[in-house]
Amino acid sequence: MTNASVREFKMPDVGEGLTEAEILKWYVQPGDTVTDGQVVCEVETAKAAVELPIPYDGVVRALHFPEGTTVDVGTSIIAVEVAGGAAPAQEAAAAPAPAAEPEQPVEQPAARQPVLVGYGVATSSTRRRPRKQAQDPAAQQAASAVQSELNGHGAAPAAPAVPAAPAAPAAPAQRPLAKPPVRKLAKDLGVDLATVTPTGPDGVVTREDVHAAVAAAQASQQTAPEAQPAAPAASAPAAQPAAPASYDSGRETRIPVKGVRKATAAAMVGSAFTAPHVTEFVTVDVTRTMKLVEELKQDKEFAGLRVNPLLLIAKALLVAIRRNPDINAAWDEAAQEIVVKHYVNLGIAAATPRGLIVPNIKDAHARTLPELAASLGELVSTAREGKTSPSAMQGGTVTITNVGVFGVDTGTPLLNPGESAILAVGAIKPQPWVHKGKVKPRQVTTLALSFDHRLVDGELGSKVLADVAAVLEQPKRLITWA
């Protein structure tokens, strides 16, 4: 594989439970010298774009994947030759152990590789037993007899000696090693993983191995369609993954679904078909709120801060949550419990060049109005620059989506997975409104609140939406209700 002086840097899990990431850009090339902590590449996960630093000094020997490749977490992406020639700890731990007592578990797994970003990769924390090497038939029969005796079955009658036949070593039955996404792929394509030759580290079956097995099955069908009738499990469904139909590239554009878009699609489908959504609407006069926004822009406490209607809408929602705390909850399906959060991590849906993301302001309920303004400004600017970290998008409790910036009146937003409510804010427009008994032009908007009907009843959802509208209609309630 690699000599003792070469260290393999593996794709780390830069979020919680992420399984893959796309290499967006390499900042180094083979032959370049790198130092501990130097950023070597930028990757995009299902949540954000992240720069990866290398955790040791050395010279780049190889880049294992080109830009634009999606790589599984735990797969080596770059080889670095380090000074001194000492074998890295993970490689030493992976060295073949003595053959004696292979069943004895390892007392302490090797430490995770220090990757500086994310959770690192447990370099064989599962520490699978090395696969048994092929033994001679006599040794196998002896081991089988001893095991049968220990199991209480009695020793099996000794079989007559068999001439050496290395073509059929009869390896012990073992469940093929593969990650859950690869197993799903194999199931969808009708491929038996036991028939696939693994090429991944530690004998793990990869996506490429599954596709190679499908291609081999198709080729065999084309050359000898009647040669192997005894393998229906692999050959029959293998015809399904046919090449996509040709299309006119001048009239259509096909965009691979990956990264943030892939994660958003999965989250929205999961939300739509898991949580029973209910959406309520209210149209409200926000003229006084718009006047307050203009006044706050002149206040020295907000000097250098971005003050806009979203700031007061966020504060109004926080006040409504304080008055109706049960709205700030989550449904725990596994435990069959409703988890009421005593903190508010306020999510703000943000449209970015990479797609929709929902970073959140941690402990937004405890922030003053100037602090909330500063947090909103930082959140928006970071999202636009594509620098939002995965941790900033985890742990949200309730979300605001401002569709009004696109000029639409409102919408029926889908819940962010794990949350119970989301508030959509429509465009603020001058409209005829009855004010003090007369029809006058007023600044009006429409709010929409979607909530999870499993844990939020219509009464609770209506109270929250009515409170938000009341604060925006009379901003002085920010003081009286606080």
pLDDT at 184: 72
Query: Rounded distance, CA 373 to CA 384, Å?
Result: 17
Least confident range from 167-171, 198-202, 269-273: namely 167-171
Name the nearest CA neighbour of 424 among 296, 329, 330, 313. 313
Encoded amino acid at 169, one letter:
P
**Strand pairing report for 421-425 and 398-402:** parallel
**pLDDT: which is higher, 173 or 208:** 208
Q: Which amino acid is at 221?
A: Q
Report the alpha-carbon distance of residue 95 to residue 4 in Å, rounded.
11
**Interatomic CA distance for residues 443 and 288, integer angstroms:** 9
- Note the pLDDT of residue 140: 55
What share of the chain in percent tops pLDDT 90? 41
Is residue 179 a contact partner of residue 204, using CB atoms and an 8 Å limit? yes
Per-residue pLDDT band for 156 (boundaries 50, 70, 90) equals very low
pLDDT band at 363 (very low <50, low <70, confident <90, very high): very high
> How confident is the model over 351-360, as a mean pLDDT?
84
In terms of average pLDDT, the best of 3-12, 167-176, 279-288 is: 279-288
Q: Which long-range CB contacts under 8 A does 407-414 form with residues at least 24 apart?
A: 409/446, 410/281, 410/446, 410/447, 410/448, 411/448, 412/277, 412/279, 412/448, 412/450, 413/279, 413/349, 413/448, 413/450, 414/268, 414/271, 414/272, 414/277, 414/450
Which amino acid, 95? A
Q: In 3-state terms, what secondary structure has residue 219?
A: helix
User: Which residues are known catalytic residues?
Assistant: 453
